[in-house]
Amino acid sequence: MDPHQPHAEAVAVKDGRIIAVGSAVETGRLAGLSTQIIDACGATVLPGFIESHMHLFIGGAELEHLQLDGCTDPALLAGQLIAFAETRPDAALLMGQGPDYGIFGDTAPRLVLDAILPGRPVALMAHDHHTVWANTAALEAAGILHGRDTPDGHEVVMGPDGLATGTLLEPEAYGPVLRLGGQERT
C-alpha cells in the first residue's frame, strides 16, 4: 500500500500477477492489443484473497478477549490478566487469546492460572484454536475438574492427582468452559 496514494483507479495484471497499481492513464500505457479491460464502474476491486482456514465470526468475537499473541513470559501474562480482569468485574469467564504454547513450562496450566486469579474463571485459547488452558474456577464451573468423556482426539488432560491439569484439547474438551462465557465452538 502506498501511503501517498491510498486509493487507485486501476490495476494491471499480467500472467495472473499484479504488475502495476495506479491511475487509469498509468496502467493504460501497459495495455497491448490483446489486453482485456474490465471496467468496474467505480466499484472497489480487491485481489483474490485465499485463506483456507479462517473462522471469520469466531475471529471477530475474539477481539473482546485479552490479546496475548505470542506471550512467553508468565510475569507479563499475570500483569496483563490481572489488568484485564479489573476492566471486567462481572465477566462470567475471563478469556485470553494466543499465548505461546510453552508459557506454562512443566507446571500444570491450572496451577499457574490459579496463582494469578484464583477466584475467577479464566481460560486462554491457543493461537491455533486446538487448545484451551483453564484455571480451577473455570474447570469447576464447567463441571470438568474431575475429567470428562470425550471422543477420540479430544481430551481433558488429567494429572496424577486425578484432577484436570487445565489443558483442554479440542472443542469437545474445552466447550463446557467456553460456554461459561457464552461462546460455542464446533
Do both 86 and 166 map to the same domain?
Answer: yes
CATH number at residue 109: 3.10.310.70
Does residue 185 sit within a domain? no
pTM score, whole prediction: 0.71
Beta pairing, strands 94-97 & 122-125: parallel
- What's the pLDDT tens digit per position in 90-104? 999 999 999 999 999
Same domain, 160 and 94: yes
Compute the mean pLDDT over every residue in the chain, rounded to the nearest whole number: 90
- In this prediction, the residues of the chain whose per-residue pLDDT falls under 70 are 1, 47, 49-61, 184-186
Range of the domain at 1: 1-50
- Same domain? 3 vs 71: no
Does 158 reside within a domain?
A: yes
Is residue 133 packed enough to be buried (19+ CB in 10 Å), middle (13-18) or exposed (0-12)? buried
Instruction: Tell me how long the chain is.
Output: 186
Q: How many domains does the chain have?
A: 2
Do 123 and 161 lie in one domain? The reply is yes
Integer Cα distance of 30 and 11 in angstroms = 10
Question: Which is it for strands 17-22 and 122-125: parallel, antiparallel or unpaired?
Answer: unpaired
